[in-house]
Amino acid sequence: MDARHVIKIGMSAERRLVVPAERTVGHFVPGMPMVYATPMMILEMELVSGDAIKPCLEPGWVTVGTEVDVRHLAATPVGATVRTTARVIAVERRLIRFEVEAFDDKRRIGEGRHARGLVNVEAFTRRLGSSPPSS
């Protein structure tokens, strides 16, 4: 599959999340504040990037994260709503690049770039010597 034929610059998506205690740095590291953890923010950025292009993918194809360049700008407490966005900024044959941002109720809390690579699930799992996931 060649992404240049189906994915266009400007495609975008948005996700919302009410920050649960299980996604805070304090949940993972005892003694740390109960604020939205950077890896959890990056997870949402990766997921929303996938959401932006998933409808265009041919059956049997998925995208996987390959690059992350993100700054976490502000702390967000449990219970706050986080809105995460992704917008396609470049499309190569098997690589899609995104601009990603995250906002809480008051401000931008994260920004950066992310890239996802196109993967044929069957070929990928065969190379790993495992079975493809069941639908």
Q: For residues 18 and 13, what is the distance between their CA atoms, to the nearest angstrom?
A: 17
How does DSSP classify residue 23?
G
Q: Which of 67, 4, 75, 69 has the alpha carbon at shortest distance from 34?
A: 75
Active site residues: 38, 46, 72
The structure tokens listed for 51 are 């959401």
Q: Is 119 in contact with 132 (CB distance < 8 Å)?
A: no
